[in-house]
Chain A
Amino acid sequence: MASFVSTAVAVLAVAEGEEPNPLVPHLSELIVGLVAFAILFLFLRAKVFPIFERVFAERTAAIEGGLAEAKREREEAHALLEQYREQLAEARTEAGRIRTEAQAERAAIVEEARNEARAEASRITEAATAQIASERQQVVAELRREVGGLAVDLAGRIVGESLEDEARQRRTVERFLDGLDSTPAGTAR
């Protein structure tokens, strides 16, 4: 092993003199490298990278477009829901209002009917009262007339007969009253 290393070093030392310097550029390689790089650059810049950029941009646009679309639709749905809710609330208010109105109306109708009934009743009562009063007056007038006649009749009988005793007097009165009873008021005249 040691001999190998020493030989290697010796050979390296000998070879050193003839070795090309790796830090000295070859003009031919410089030209080949630059030309190759230039061709590659121009080709890729013209034929490849613009397509990639376009695809990137289109992809971004497609994704963003999709997102925007979804957002728009979601907002639309929200708006619709809101609208429905509003309409529902409106309908409820309307129903409540109608109910309240109906109740008020019902109360009014009942009140009206009651008033009418009350008025009718009082009217009837008044009519009845008036009729009774007039009938009473009629009766009283008739009575007065008959009582006068009766009184005259009775007085004539009493004066015509001799009043001998109390018993006769009583009998006379009773007879008179019996006569009164048996004679109907209407036909008495």
Chain B
Amino acid sequence: MSDRLLASEGTGFTPPGPSSFEPPPFFTVAGWAVDKVVVVIALSTVLIAAFFYLAARRAEAAGANGGLVPGKLQFAGESAYGFVRNGIGLETIGKEGLRFVPFLATLFFFIAVNNLFGIIPPFQLPGTSKIAIPLGLAVIVWVIYNYLGIKRQGLLGYFKNMMFPPGIPIPVYFLLAPIELLSNFIVRPVTLCLRLTLNMFAGHLVLVLFILGGEYLILEYGGIVGVLAGSVAILGSLVMTGFEAFIQLLQAYVFTLLAALYIGGALADEH
């Protein structure tokens, strides 16, 4: 990556930009370019599947009664699943949320691991920093909660409950109805998608800037000033990496929590 960014050597520093999210393809299969993003997404999927499969296999292999006392791996898997199950699914949707826990848990771990690849060498590129990934997930969430709302409340009832919730003075509806409509169909999915994408995008950009800037200052700019400033930048990148890990987990949580809230709202709007 660095050779690409430091294109014109000696002439100056090329700061990282959106192009640093377009890694060159490793190889091409039948016209499909397999680049780092694809590898990260595939690897996240495999890692999550493997982790949970091993954790669950331990529970199943131990027999009907043995799974009650979990081993370390099983405990880790159960805790991870239980976190989404109880902390997000049951907490925000209620008893009915149990139906959506598999979806929410997959959502959370898929996003979290893809995010975390932003700080895991040698990848250091969050799969979710490419807008296509959060967009796809946001569309799935959008389809699910609108489908549930219409199925539960009927097409008319869904729109009525959404745009004209009872117990509000009539003049307010002129303001509220379009806002709610806009919010439900456009703002929610767009913010869901952009919040995640841009957090990962900006986080990655900041990390790359710190690292490449530090490298440039030490190696190219040189001198006492360059080495000192560059060292500060490299140290800063370490701090930022820790901060990024936090942001990455937080964004996965926020995305999943909002998805659960939207689903819960569609199910509960029976006034």
Tell me the nearest residue of chain B to A46, going by C-beta.
Answer: B102
Q: Mark B56-95, 1 if CB is under 8 A from A, else 0.
A: 1001100011011010001001100110000000000000
B92 to chain A, nearest CB (A): 18
- The residues of B that contact A1 with a CB separation of less than 8 Å are 225, 229
A interface residues with partner B (beta carbon < 8 Å)? 1, 4, 7-8, 10-12, 15-16, 18-30, 32-34, 36-37, 39-41, 43-45, 47-49, 51-52, 54-56, 58-59, 62
**How far apart sit A59 and B48, CA to CA, in the bound complex (Å)?**
25
How large, as a class, is the contact surface on chain B? Answer: 35 or more
Query: Contacts A37-B106, A48-B55 known; A15 to B17 CB distance under 8 Å?
Result: yes
- The residues of B that contact A55 with a CB separation of less than 8 Å are 59, 67-68, 70, 74, 78
**How far apart sit A25 and B59, CA to CA, in the bound complex (Å)?**
40
Picked from A29, A33, A40, A54, the residue with its CB within 8 Å of the CB of B49 is A40
- The residues of B that contact A44 with a CB separation of less than 8 Å are 48-49, 52, 102, 105-106
- Please tell me if B250 contacts chain A, counting CB pairs below 8 Å: no
- Please tell me if B135 contacts chain A, counting CB pairs below 8 Å: yes
B138 to chain A, nearest CB (A): 11
Picked from B37, B70, B106, B225, the residue with its CB within 8 Å of the CB of A29 is B37
- The residues of A that contact B38 with a CB separation of less than 8 Å are 28-29, 32
Q: Binding site of A, secondary structure by majority: helix, strand, loop or mixed?
A: helix
Q: Binding site of B, secondary structure by majority: helix, strand, loop or mixed?
A: helix
Find out whether the CB atom of A7 lies under 8 angstroms from the CB atom of B81: no
- The residues of A that contact B74 with a CB separation of less than 8 Å are 55
- The residues of B that contact A54 with a CB separation of less than 8 Å are 67
Query: Contacts A36-B44, A55-B78 known; A48 to B56 CB distance under 8 Å?
Result: yes
Picked from A4, A21, A51, the residue with its CB within 8 Å of the CB of B18 is A21
- Please tell me if B174 contacts chain A, counting CB pairs below 8 Å: no
Find out whether the CB atom of B132 lies under 8 angstroms from the CB atom of A12: no
- The residues of A that contact B135 with a CB separation of less than 8 Å are 25, 30
Query: Contacts A25-B132, A37-B140 known; A19 to B41 CB distance under 8 Å?
Result: no
B interface residues with partner A (beta carbon < 8 Å)? 12-15, 17-19, 21-22, 32-33, 37-38, 41-42, 44-45, 48-49, 52-53, 55-56, 59-60, 64-65, 67-68, 70, 74, 77-78, 81-82, 101-103, 105-107, 110, 127, 130-133, 135-137, 140, 197, 201, 221, 225, 229
- The residues of B that contact A62 with a CB separation of less than 8 Å are 68
Find out whether the CB atom of A51 lies under 8 angstroms from the CB atom of B60: yes
- The residues of B that contact A26 with a CB separation of less than 8 Å are 130, 132
Picked from A15, A25, A27, A34, the residue with its CB within 8 Å of the CB of B19 is A15
- The residues of A that contact B67 with a CB separation of less than 8 Å are 51, 54-55, 58
- The residues of B that contact A47 with a CB separation of less than 8 Å are 53, 56
The 6 closest A-B pairs by CB, nearest first: A29-B132, A25-B132, A30-B132, A33-B133, A45-B102, A7-B12
B2 to chain A, nearest CB (A): 15
Find out whether the CB atom of B41 lies under 8 angstroms from the CB atom of A33: yes
**How far apart sit A48 and B15, CA to CA, in the bound complex (Å)?**
44
15 additional contacts (CB under 8 A) given A7-B12, A52-B77:
A4-B12, A8-B12, A11-B14, A18-B19, A24-B131, A25-B132, A28-B32, A29-B38, A29-B132, A33-B127, A37-B106, A39-B49, A41-B103, A44-B52, A45-B102
**How far apart sit A62 and B67, CA to CA, in the bound complex (Å)?**
12
- The residues of A that contact B52 with a CB separation of less than 8 Å are 44, 48
**How far apart sit A23 and B134, CA to CA, in the bound complex (Å)?**
11
**How far apart sit A1 and B77, CA to CA, in the bound complex (Å)?**
50
**How far apart sit A51 and B44, CA to CA, in the bound complex (Å)?**
22
Find out whether the CB atom of B132 lies under 8 angstroms from the CB atom of A51: no
Query: Contacts A55-B59, A55-B78 known; A20 to B102 CB distance under 8 Å?
Result: no
Interface centre among A12, A33, A62 (most CB of B within 10 A): A33
Find out whether the CB atom of A59 lies under 8 angstroms from the CB atom of B102: no
- The residues of A that contact B78 with a CB separation of less than 8 Å are 52, 55-56
- The residues of B that contact A12 with a CB separation of less than 8 Å are 15, 17
